[in-house]
Each structure stands twice: as structure tokens, then as C-alpha cells.
């Protein structure tokens, strides 16, 4: 008489396998949702997100979209270039209705100033606390229906230090700036 042993999984092995699959699934889904969320963290990231949104809005609307920085509320504002301005409650100032608002987190915006600069370097500059800051600003930048934008740079000033981001007017993307040949990082060691 021959005995046949049935080989099968025990209930414990099946439950353990299901638990491992559920754990891996939750980790992968949680990580994927963070990647898809794309919430900007720094003021630079909020700026580049605003530039992308302004370019996308100009392409969709097929007319000019303006990007401003609201100094009081510490936020980037997209404004339709064709929308009429509305008279404010004081009866003198004109208000523009924003298409989209991209605020900077309050923790990052305490002493932050963002100014849009003309594309040409070497305009009016001032020396503040040993930092050279450009003073020739423009009130807004324009994004056009063909996917281009006005040539500009964005100057972020925080805690006495200034950082300038240059925007390529053809692609509205970050422009690589040539390194200063006199800086320590670009010197060749002999």
C-alpha cells in the first residue's frame, strides 16, 4: 500500500504571504502618490512651478499671461493679459483678477523678497551689507501664446543674501550661467 502525501501551503504561510504583499503594495502606492503630488518645498521650487503654470496657461489660452510677485502676501500670481482691471474699493487703484495663486510657505517667506529683473546684467546695482543687489526691476513678466516668455531674471533676497535665477526666454526653463573664471571652483590646478 502506497501512501500519497499531498504537498500544500499551510494557512500560516498563505496569511504571511498576503501580509508581505499588502505591505509592499502600501509602500509602493504611498511612494508613488508622493511623486505625483509635486508640492514645491522651497521658494525656488515655487517660482519654477509658477513659471511652468504661466507658460502652460499662455499656451492653453492662446494669449499673453503675466506673472507677478505679491510682496505683501508672499505669493506668485498669474494674471490674464486680456482680462479687464476692476476698480478697487478705494475707488482709485485697479485690481486684476488672478487666474492662479502660488503662495510660498510662511516658514520660508518671513524675510523673502522676490523681484523680477530686466534681462540685461549690469543695470542699476546697489551694495547692501556687502552683497551686490540689482535695483532695476520690472513689475511683471509676460508669457506668450507661442510658449516663449519675456527675457528676465528673478532675484531672491533673504537675510541679506541675494540669489539670481536666469530664465531662458525661448523655453522658459532655467538657464545655465557660465561660471566666473576668477572663482576658486573654475580655476585649474597646475
* Confidence grade of residue 8 (pLDDT, cut at 50, 70, 90): confident
Strands 152-158 and 86-87: unpaired
The answer as to whether 28 is a domain residue is: no
Average pLDDT for residues 122-141, to the nearest whole number? 65
Q: Which residue has the cell 503630488?
A: 37
Q: Which residue has the cell 495663486?
A: 101
Q: Is 98 exposed, middle or buried (0-12, 13-18, 19+ CB in 10 A)?
A: middle
The answer as to whether 182 is a domain residue is: no
pLDDT tens digits for range 65-88: 999 998 888 889 998 877 666 655
Q: What are phi and psi of 46, to 5 degrees?
A: -65, -40
The answer as to whether 52 is a domain residue is: yes
Least Cα distance to 132 among 109, 102, 154, 163 occurs for 163
Total number of domains in the chain: 1
The answer as to whether 150 is a domain residue is: yes
User: Within 13 Å, how many C-alpha atoms sit on residue 106's CB side?
Assistant: 0
The answer as to whether 24 is a domain residue is: no
What separation in angstroms does the CA of 95 have from each of 56, 68, 81, 83, 115?
Answer: 23, 13, 13, 11, 20
Grid cell in block for residue 82: 486680456
Expressed as residue numbers, the domain containing 93 is: 43-167
Least confident segment among 14-18, 50-54, 72-76, 115-119 = 115-119
* Confidence grade of residue 188 (pLDDT, cut at 50, 70, 90): very low
Are 77 and 67 contacting, i.e. CB atoms less than 8 angstroms apart?
yes
The answer as to whether 30 is a domain residue is: no
- The CATH number that applies at residue 139 is 3.55.40
What separation in angstroms does the CA of 1 have from each of 4, 7, 188?
Answer: 10, 19, 87
User: Residue 105: its pLDDT value, please?
Assistant: 82
The answer as to whether 185 is a domain residue is: no
The answer as to whether 67 is a domain residue is: yes
Amino acid at each position: 500500500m502506497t501512501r500519497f502525501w499531498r504537498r500544500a501551503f499551510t494557512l500560516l504561510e498563505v496569511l504571511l504571504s498576503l501580509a508581505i504583499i499588502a505591505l509592499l503594495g502600501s509602500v509602493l502606492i504611498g511612494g508613488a502618490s508622493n511623486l505625483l503630488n509635486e508640492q514645491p518645498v522651497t521658494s525656488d521650487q515655487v517660482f519654477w512651478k509658477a513659471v511652468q503654470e504661466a507658460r502652460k496657461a499662455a499656451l492653453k489660452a492662446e494669449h499673453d499671461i503675466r506673472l507677478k510677485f505679491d510682496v505683501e502676501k508672499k505669493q506668485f500670481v498669474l494674471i490674464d493679459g486680456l482680462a479687464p482691471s476692476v476698480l478697487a474699493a478705494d475707488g482709485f487703484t485697479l485690481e486684476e483678477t488672478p487666474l492662479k495663486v502660488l503662495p510660498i510657505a510662511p516658514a520660508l517667506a518671513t524675510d523673502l523678497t522676490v523681484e523680477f529683473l530686466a534681462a540685461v546684467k549690469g543695470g542699476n546695482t546697489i551694495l547692501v551689507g556687502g552683497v551686490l543687489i540689482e535695483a532695476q526691476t520690472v513689475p511683471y513678466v509676460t508669457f506668450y501664446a507661442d510658449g516663449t516668455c519675456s527675457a528676465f531674471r528673478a532675484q531672491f533676497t533673504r537675510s541679506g543674501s541675494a540669489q539670481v535665477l536666469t530664465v531662458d526666454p525661448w523655453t522658459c526653463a532655467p538657464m545655465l550661467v557660465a561660471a566666473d573664471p576668477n572663482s576658486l571652483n573654475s580655476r585649474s590646478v597646475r
